[in-house]
A and B are shown apart, each in its own frame.
Chain A
Amino acid sequence: MTTLAPPVAGAHRPTTTSGRPSGPVVWMALPAFLMFLAFGVVPLLGVLALSFTTWDGIGGITPSGLTSWKATLSDPGLPHALWVTFLIMALSWLVQTPVSILIGVFLAAHKRYRGVLAVLYFIPLLLSSAAISITYKALLDPNFGIGTGLGLDVLNQDWLGDATLAMGVLIFVVSWQFIPFHSLIYQGGVRQIPASMYEAAQIDGAGRVRQFFSITLPQLKYTIITSSTLMVVGSLTFFDLIFVLTAGGPGDATRALALEMYQKGFQANLMGPASAIAVIIVLVGLLLAMVLRRLGGRADESQLEGA
């Protein structure tokens, strides 16, 4: 009962469990393969190719060697976007991880009221980033929003008009949206820790806090790595949320890489430099995934995006 990820759970017999096929089967994989080739693999190669061209998004595409790369790498917008991305990544990790672990532990206990709470906790998972951003934008209105409602003047700030505050709001909204998902992962992880370990600790007289730090946390090591990988790699591609919430502003205070790419490409019509930024996103993502995977030390497990 109650294991995370039903499809993958269960005993995996090593190979060819299913015996010889009675006829050719390769063709069955072709539709999916061709589809993914056309809209996944070809675009990946395409973005690299496009980064060596000049294209305004409408007219012809002309090869232009390193022009786009030179423009991109000498643009002060790039280091800024990298810094903003890094900041979002680090801060949202710092907020989300402890809270997700605590909620995961909280929900892993089999108590009825916590079951009811869980139903409500997971609602943010259902909402589109657009809906969430629009809600917060209105809720944080300095004059008619939350501050007035709670009667707390501290909350009557120009939340999205100040660079530091806007970043804080962004981190908060990201956490609000994604903590439920990571809690779900941690809940599954905690439930797989053998109860006998806690019983033994109990006999040794360890209290709840001690048990958390000596058993739960170390046992969650791989879950933490999986969840962190998803958070870190995922935060590289935050787009919808920032686009609707702050549009990168105020000024360029929250203009992360994906947004920088979109604005270069689809608003300034510089598809070459935008493609170069996209290549940078892919490379940074792969690098981070590899580093985190090494930390985990489990080479057999794909820990990229949802795997």
Chain B
Amino acid sequence: MATISPAVPAPAVRPPSTVRRALRYNWAGGGFGFLWLFLVMLPIYWIVITSLKTQGNYFVTNPLKPPADPTFDSYRLVIESDFARYFLNSVIVTAGAIVPAVAISFMAAYAIVRGAGSRLLKGMNAVFLMGLAIPLQAVIIPVYLIIIRLQMYDTLAAIILPSIAFAIPLSVLVLANFIRDVPKELFESMRMDGATEWGTLWRLAFPLTRPALVTVTIYNALGIWNGFLLPLVLTQSPEQRTIPLALWDFQGQFGVNVPAIAASVTLTTLPIVIMYAIGRRQLLSGLTAGFGK
């Protein structure tokens, strides 16, 4: 499958690269590359080492030197500050939104491809495409109003419902493009075997579309996991806080205890970094989901 693989050097089929080799080694490029690496890694390095310092130590040691005696006290403090609950909330919101969002987007994408002649479906597809242009920020006030009227304010469901809706347009676009590439003969033979469209959807299209489903899932899951505005506007009590909001709150709560703030940032970021380490390629292709060339 065509996956993006920036981390893996091209396979054996390189073009005869004598031409490229004829150029001098690109020192400027390499230097620039490492300079950028420094800029990217500096804050990350700093946040990790700071999280291992004691509060007293933070004010007297060089900010960029790792602590001589690393301590996990700050992590303990963060975990004792109800971290598990916020983490669980984020898991519930992300899973609760992503599973239905991808499932109904997949169904819609299938219908749009299979029922290509239908006016109704064309209209729906146009609405989804237009939806790509609606920024969540701009409609947050009516969304807030709707959530209040549904008596859902300050629940996790309040975050989940709009998250599902805003995952739909791009998911439908990407999945429909993918389903369109399934050979017509396969659908035809399913029909000959007497399969219903519902059966064909799950037994034929679903397995064949799996890479795109993974892509769409990752892209949206990351967005929902890191989402800030919806939890900020639609919830209020600490019990409903998701991780990004909890981080913001920790920052106020810990005040000058910078190592604790650093530990909270590190701890909330760790799960995604671990996932990145496991599924880097899917993740990166997921991030550019929907781009043409």
Residues of A near any B CB (own CB < 8 A): 1-13, 15-29, 31-33, 35-44, 46-47, 50, 57, 61, 99, 102-103, 106-107, 110-112, 114-132, 134-139, 141, 144-146, 148-150, 176, 180-181, 184-185, 187-189, 192, 195, 198-199, 202, 207-208, 222-223, 226, 233, 236-237, 239-240, 243-244, 258, 261-262, 265-266, 271, 274-275, 278-279, 281-282, 285-286, 289, 301-302, 304-307
Q: Using Cβ atoms and an 8 Å threshold, which residues of chain A touch B29?
A: 106
**B161-183, CB under 8 A of A: which get 1 and which 0?**
11011101110111101111111
Given contacts A134-B248, A149-B63, A307-B170, contact A28 B111 (CB under 8 A): yes
Give B49 Cβ to nearest chain A Cβ, in Å: 10
- A118 adjacent to B290 (CB under 8 Å): no
Q: Using Cβ atoms and an 8 Å threshold, which residues of chain A touch B145?
A: 46, 50, 61
A202 to B165, CA, bound (A): 51
The 5 closest A-B pairs by CB, nearest first: A46-B142, A39-B165, A149-B64, A128-B226, A43-B142
Give A237 Cβ to nearest chain B Cβ, in Å: 4
Q: Using Cβ atoms and an 8 Å threshold, which residues of chain A touch B128?
A: 32-33, 36
Interface presence of B79 (CB below 8 A): no
Interface presence of B7 (CB below 8 A): yes
Given contacts A7-B212, A9-B2, A42-B146, contact A106 B32 (CB under 8 A): yes
Q: Using Cβ atoms and an 8 Å threshold, which residues of chain B touch A23?
A: 196-197
- B276 adjacent to A116 (CB under 8 Å): no
Give A52 Cβ to nearest chain B Cβ, in Å: 13
- A31 adjacent to B104 (CB under 8 Å): yes
Interface presence of B78 (CB below 8 A): no
**B27-49, CB under 8 A of A: which get 1 and which 0?**
00100111011011111101100
Give the number of A-B contacts (CB < 8 Å).
407
A9 to B215, CA, bound (A): 13
- Majority SS of interface residues in chain A? helix
Instruction: Indicate which residue in A18, A33, A185 contacts B113 across the interface (CB closer than 8 Å).
Output: A18
Count contacts on B: residues with CB < 8 A to the other chain.
141
- A282 adjacent to B138 (CB under 8 Å): yes
- B273 adjacent to A123 (CB under 8 Å): yes
Q: Using Cβ atoms and an 8 Å threshold, which residues of chain B touch A223?
A: 293
A132 to B40, CA, bound (A): 11
Interface presence of B114 (CB below 8 A): yes
Q: Which of B146, B195, B215, B287 has the most CB of A within 10 A?
A: B287
- A7 adjacent to B290 (CB under 8 Å): yes
What 16 new A-B contacts, CB under 8 Å, besides A36-B131, A176-B39?
A1-B11, A4-B4, A25-B114, A25-B115, A31-B108, A39-B164, A46-B139, A138-B258, A187-B6, A202-B22, A279-B138, A282-B135, A285-B135, A285-B138, A302-B173, A306-B291
Given contacts A8-B291, A102-B32, A301-B292, contact A18 B182 (CB under 8 A): yes
- A29 adjacent to B107 (CB under 8 Å): yes
Interface presence of B82 (CB below 8 A): no
- A139 adjacent to B46 (CB under 8 Å): yes
Instruction: Indicate which residue in A102, A112, A125, A188 contacts B293 across the interface (CB closer than 8 Å).
Output: A188
Interface presence of B99 (CB below 8 A): no
Interface presence of B207 (CB below 8 A): no
Q: Using Cβ atoms and an 8 Å threshold, which residues of chain B touch A176?
A: 39-40, 43
- A188 adjacent to B288 (CB under 8 Å): yes
Q: Using Cβ atoms and an 8 Å threshold, which residues of chain A touch B19?
A: 198-199, 202
Q: Which of A23, A176, A274 has the most CB of B within 10 A?
A: A23
Given contacts A7-B174, A39-B166, contact A237 B222 (CB under 8 A): no
Q: Using Cβ atoms and an 8 Å threshold, which residues of chain A touch B141?
A: 43, 46-47, 50, 261, 265, 271, 274-275, 278
Give A213 Cβ to nearest chain B Cβ, in Å: 15
Chain B 188-241 interface residues, beta-carbon cutoff 8 Å to A: 188, 191, 195-198, 200-201, 211-212, 215-216, 222, 225-226, 228-229, 232-233
Q: Using Cβ atoms and an 8 Å threshold, which residues of chain B touch A126?
A: 222, 269, 272-273, 276, 283
Q: Using Cβ atoms and an 8 Å threshold, which residues of chain A touch B127?
A: 33, 36-37, 41
Least CB separation from B150: chain A residue: A38
Interface presence of B85 (CB below 8 A): no
The 12 sampled A-B contact pairs (Cβ below 8 Å) are: A6-B4, A18-B113, A41-B131, A43-B146, A46-B139, A102-B32, A117-B34, A141-B258, A198-B19, A274-B141, A306-B132, A306-B291
Q: Using Cβ atoms and an 8 Å threshold, which residues of chain A touch B104?
A: 31-32, 35
- B265 adjacent to A131 (CB under 8 Å): yes
Q: Using Cβ atoms and an 8 Å threshold, which residues of chain A touch B288?
A: 4-5, 181, 184-185, 188
Instruction: Indicate which residue in B7, B115, B179, B272 contacts A21 across the interface (CB closer than 8 Å).
Output: B115
Q: Using Cβ atoms and an 8 Å threshold, which residues of chain B touch A46?
A: 139, 141-142, 145-146
Least CB separation from A48: chain B residue: B142
Least CB separation from A8: chain B residue: B177
- A13 adjacent to B121 (CB under 8 Å): no
